[in-house]
Structure 1
Amino acid sequence: MELDWLLAPPLPETMPRQRVLYHRLRQAILSGHIAPGTQLPASRSLASSLKISRNTVLFAYEQLVAEGCLLADRQGTRVAMLSVQPVMLPRKEDANEVPLQLSVRAEVALQPGPAREAAVLPFAPGTPDYSAFPFRSWRTCLERAWRDAGWRQLGYAAHGGDPALREALAGHLTTVRGLAVDAGQIVITGGTQAALDLCARLLGDHGDVVWAENPGYLAARVAFGLAGLRVHDVPVDTEGLAPSDRDWCEHPPRLIMITPSHQYPTGRVMSLPRRLALIERALQSGTWIIEDDYDSEFRRAGPAPPALFGLKPDAPIVYIGTFSKTLYPGLRLGYLVLPHAIAADFARATAQATRPGQGIEQRALADFIRRGYYTAHLRRMRARYTARQIALRAALKEAFGPSLTLSGGEAGLHLVMWLPQEIRDTDVATRAEALGLGVRALSSYTKAPMICNGLVLGYGNLEEKMLLEGVRRLVLAVQSQNNNMHQS
C-alpha cells in the first residue's frame, strides 16, 4: 500500500511530523480516501518507507486508535467501520456548500459602533486617566492578597463573589452612596457588560420587551439582543427617560435599563419626581428596573442624587456599579445590588452561569477599599477631573465663541458639544479621527425617530498638555465640514 503522500510537501513549518502524519491519516479515513477495513502497514514498515522514526508512526496510530478511527489487534492495524460512513468530499469547485454563519441573535453584536481602538485617543469617552492610578497602594494590596492566598482564591469564587469584597462594598455603598445594603445583597460581576448580561438572562425571558434609553448605551443593546429580548427605544429629555402612556400600553416592558445619575451619553440627570413615578409604574406592571449608576462617583456640584435603589423598600430595582472608570477597565470587576427577595437565588444562578473567578483580585480590592485607598483615590480623581473639565470648557468657548452649546458635566468624564443641524456630527467625527482625535458622534448612540446632532467629548484621558492642541484639531474638523457644506 503506497502511503508516501502522507508526508509529501507542503508540510506545515511549525507542526511536528507526528502531528502531520496523524492529521493526514485522520483526514483520509474520515473522507473515505482510505476505506473501512483497510489494513495499514506495520509501524516499522511505514516508518521505513517514509524515512521517519517508528515513534512518530506509533504516535499517529495510537491517537487514531484512541479516537476510534483505527483498530489494533493481533491481526494488525486496520481502519475501523465508523458508525457514520464517510463519503468522498466533492471538489471545492463542484461543491454547493452551505456558508458557515453565526446565529440571528449574534447580528446585534455585529452592528456598527464606536471603535474600541479610539479609547487611546484624546477626547475618547469613557477612558479614565491611567497616569493617576495608585500603583503603589494597589500593588501592596495585591502582594498581600497573594501572600495570604489559600486554595479557595485559586478556584472559582464563592457564590456572589468573595465574602470580604462583598462586605467591604456594602460598607462603602452605605457610607458613600447612602444605600443601606448588606453583603448578602451584593453579587460580584465581570463589569457592567457582564452585569447587564446576567440581568437580561436571569430577569427576562426570550421575547420579553426591554426599554432602552434613546440615545443610550450601545453595549446594553448587545447584551439584551444576545439574550433574545426585544429592545424598545424610549426617548430621553432634560429630566431623563421620558416614556409616554403609549409606550406603557403598546410596549409593556419586563425590564427597563436606565442611567439616571448621569445619563449616557447626554449627561442629563433624572429628576426625583421622574424617578418616583417610574418606580410606581414598575411596581404596578411587574417590571424590573436596571439602574446603572454610571459615573456617580465623579459628581461635580454637591452630593449625587439619590439612587432609585432604596427610594422605596422592596422595589423591583437592580443596581449596577463598576470599577472600570474609578480604577481601570482591565480589572474586569463590577457588582450588582439586589433586593433581598431574589439576592440568594440570583447569586446561585450567577455562579452556575458564569463560574466566577479572580479570587486574588477580589481579595486585593476588598483590602484596597477597607484601608481607605479607594475613597482617597476617588477624592483625588474627582478634583482632577473637575479641573480638567473647567479647562476644557474654557478652551472650547474661546475657540467656538458664544454660539457654543455644551451639556452634561454634572458628573462623569465627558461633555456633549451640540452642532448646528447643517453640520453632520458623523462627518465631523470622521474628520476628527483622521486628525488623531477620539470624539464620537452623538447620533451614533441614537435610534430613529430620535434625532441628535453633536459630539461626545471625553476628557478623562485628556492630558493638560494635549488639551489646547486637541481643541485646535477639533476646530479644524468642524470647520472642514462647515466649509464642505457651503461649497456644496
Structure 2
Amino acid sequence: MDYALLFTDFSKNHCGWSQQRLLHECLRSAIKTGKLNSGTRMLATRQLASDLGIARNTVLYAYEQLATEGYVRSDRRGTFVADIKLAKVRDEHVSQLLHPGLSQRAQVLPSRQPETSLTAAFTPGIPSLVDFPIHLWRRLLERAWSSTTATQLNYGDAAGEPLLRAAIADHLRASRGVICEPSQVFITDGTQSSLDLCAHAFADKGDVVWMESPGYRGALNAFHAAELRIHPIAVDLDGIAPSEDDWHKSSPKLIYVTPSHQFPLGGVLTLERRIALIEQARTAGALLIEDDYDSEFRHDGPPLPAMQGLMPNAPVIYLGTFSKTMFPALRIGFMIVPQGFVAAINDLVSQSVSRGRTADQLALADFLSSGQFARHLRRMRRLYRQRRDGMNAALERHTRAFGKVYGTSSGMHLVLALDESISDMKVSANALEQGIVAHALSAHVIGEVKAIRNGLVLGYAQVPIQQIDEAVRKLSKIIKDAKSF
C-alpha cells in the first residue's frame, strides 16, 4: 500500500481540513472500502509520519481514533486492521438511509457533542443558566404579550422589531463604542445565522475568506457551505497576525476575527493590530466580520472598544448574540452592517429571512432599555470572575505539570495547552466517558499553520465554584493516564 499516494489523493478532495482529520478520515475510508483489508499490519507511527512528512502526534491521533471506533486493533506486534464486517454492514445501512438526498458537505460535518454533555463541566460557551432572572423574564414576556395587537401577529419586519433594534444600538454605543443607527441593526436567530447571511451576502462562490487558526468551527462550516475558499491565519497570544505574504498571495474578500476574546485561545487583539487590520482591509477592499461574542466579560483591565467604532466608516460587519449574556434558547443575535449596505441587506432579508417572535423581541427590548440587562451583566461579571479565579487556582494545583493556561483575562472559557506528548483528542474522549467535557484544541486548528494546537478548551461559567476543584482533579488524573499510555 502506497500510503503517500493514498493520502495525497484523499487530501485533494478535502481542502481546509486539518492534517489530523485528513489522515483519520483517509485511513478510515481505505479500511471501509477494502483498500486496507482486515488483518493488514499498519505502518509504525514513526514510519508513517516520516513517509507522509507529518507530525507523529498526527498519526498517533489517527490510530487512536480508529481503535476507538473499532477499525484497528493493537497488540505487542503492532497495529492491525480489525475484522470490520459488522462495521461495514452498519455503514452501508447508514449510506442507504442517507442516499441520495444528503449533500457531501452535510456528510463531512463534525459530530455533535451528546445532548447530555451540553451543561456539564467544562462545556464552553454555556452561561450560568440557574443565575438568569427567569421570573423577571417571564414578567417581561407577559407584558409584551399583553400589549401585542392582532396586527403584530402577522409576519413582522424581517430586519427585526424597531424597538429592539433601537435598544441594541443604544446599548452598543454606550458599552462598546459602536457607531451605528438602528437602521444598521439586523436581528438574526443567533451568530450562526448571522455568519450564514454574511457568507452569502458579502462573498461569491470561490472568494477567499481569512479565518483565525485555531478558530471557530461554526464560522468554518458557514463559509464551507457558501463554497468560499478558506485561508487560515495563525493567531498568537495577541490575536490574528497576517503577514505581508498573506495580503499579497491570498487577498481576502472577508476576514473573520474574534478580537475581544479570540476563540478558542482567548487572546485579546491589541489596539495596534486592530487599527492596522482595518486599514489593510480597507486598502484590499475586504470586509471584516467582527464576532464580539465574549466582549461583555472582561475580567482584567478595561475592555478595548469594538473594532467597528475605531474609525469612521470602518469596513466592519459587527456580530453579537444574547446566547452568552442571557441564555442560548432565546435564539436572538444581531449584526450591524456598514451604512452603505443597509438598503441591499434590507432587500435580501425581506425575501429570505423568517419573520416573527415579536413578543420575545419586545421583551428583550424592555430588558435592555429598562437597565435590567446591564444589572444582570454586572452580576454575571462578578460571578464569572470568581469562577475564573477558582478555575485558575485548581489548574495550578492539579495540572501545572502537564501544560500552561491561556486566555484568562476575558470571557467564559480558558485553554489548557498540553505537552505534545499528550493527545488532547484522547484526553477529550476519555473525559467525556467520565462526564467531563474538555474539547480538544486540535479540533479547532484550520490548515497547517504554526500555532498552539494541542490542549483543552475549558468553559467555567456554568460550573459552581464548589465543584470546580474536584472536576479539575478528575481531569488531571485523566490527563496523567493519557500521558502514561
Do both proteins adopt the same fold according to a TM-score greater than 0.5, normalized to the shorter chain? yes
Ranges in structure 1 where 5+ consecutive residues have no aligned partner: 1-95
Change (3 A) 1:355 1:481: same
CA distance in 2, matches of 1:430, 1:107: 22
Letter in 2 for 1:216: G
Superposed displacement of residue 104, structure 1? 3.6
Percent identity for Structure 1 against Structure 2: 43
Superposed displacement of residue 458, structure 1? 0.5
Superposed displacement of residue 239, structure 1? 1.9
1:106 is matched with: 106
What are the residue-to-residue correspondences of 1:227-376 with 2, within 5 Å? 227-376=226-375
Superposed displacement of residue 476, structure 1? 1.4
2:419 is matched with: 420
CA distance in 1, matches of 2:232, 2:116: 27
Letter in 2 for 1:459: Y
CA distance in 1, matches of 2:177, 2:321: 17
Contact 1:319-1:338 at 8 Å conserved across structures: yes
What are the residue-to-residue correspondences of 1:60-459 with 2, within 5 Å? 99-108=99-108, 110-112=109-111, 117-401=116-400, 404-450=403-449, 452-459=453-460
CA distance in 2, matches of 1:120, 1:342: 38
Letter in 1 for 2:444: Y
CA distance in 2, matches of 1:401, 1:261: 26
CA distance in 1, matches of 2:363, 2:268: 33
What are the residue-to-residue correspondences of 1:45-56 with 2, within 5 Å? none
Change (3 A) 1:128 1:382: same
CA distance in 1, matches of 2:150, 2:247: 51
Contact 1:421-1:453 at 8 Å conserved across structures: yes
Letter in 2 for 1:103: S
Superposed displacement of residue 246, structure 1? 2.0
CA distance in 2, matches of 1:289, 1:317: 5
2:463 is matched with: 462
Secondary structure of the residue aligned to 1:174 is: helix
Write out per-residue CA displacement over residues 61-110 of structure 1, whole angstroms, 9 at most, x where no aligned residue: xxxxxxxxxxxxxxxxxxxxxxxxxxxxxxxxxxx9994142344345x2
Ranges in structure 2 where 5+ consecutive residues have no aligned partner: 1-95
- Root-mean-square deviation (Å): 1.9
1:475 is matched with: 476
Superposed displacement of residue 245, structure 1? 2.0
Contact 2:234-2:242 at 8 Å conserved across structures: yes
Write out per-residue CA displacement over residues 414-446 of structure 1, whole angstroms, 9 at most, x where no aligned residue: 111111111111111111111110111100101
Letter in 2 for 1:156: Y
Superposed displacement of residue 205, structure 1? 0.9
Letter in 1 for 2:253: R
Letter in 2 for 1:106: A
CA distance in 1, matches of 2:410, 2:152: 36
Contact 2:308-2:314 at 8 Å conserved across structures: yes
Contact 2:386-2:465 at 8 Å conserved across structures: no
- Count of residues in Structure 1 that have an aligned counterpart in Structure 2: 388
CA distance in 2, matches of 1:171, 1:358: 21
CA distance in 2, matches of 1:387, 1:278: 34
CA distance in 2, matches of 1:152, 1:436: 48
Letter in 1 for 2:131: A
CA distance in 2, matches of 1:432, 1:136: 35
Change (3 A) 1:424 1:374: same
Greater radius of gyration (CA): 1
Letter in 2 for 1:287: A
Write out per-residue CA displacement over residues 373-397 of structure 1, whole angstroms, 9 at most, x where no aligned residue: 1000000000000001101111111
Change (3 A) 1:292 1:347: same
CA distance in 1, matches of 2:400, 2:129: 32
CA distance in 1, matches of 2:330, 2:429: 31
Contact 1:263-1:294 at 8 Å conserved across structures: no
1:30 is matched with: none
CA distance in 1, matches of 2:97, 2:135: 57
Q: Give the TM-score of the pair, scaled to structure 1.
A: 0.76
CA distance in 2, matches of 1:287, 1:401: 42
Q: Give the TM-score of the pair, scaled to structure 2.
A: 0.77
Secondary structure of the residue aligned to 1:309 is: helix
Letter in 2 for 1:473: K
CA distance in 1, matches of 2:362, 2:215: 33
Change (3 A) 1:106 1:434: closer
Contact 1:184-1:343 at 8 Å conserved across structures: yes
Superposed displacement of residue 232, structure 1? 1.4
Change (3 A) 1:114 1:284: farther
Contact 1:406-1:417 at 8 Å conserved across structures: yes
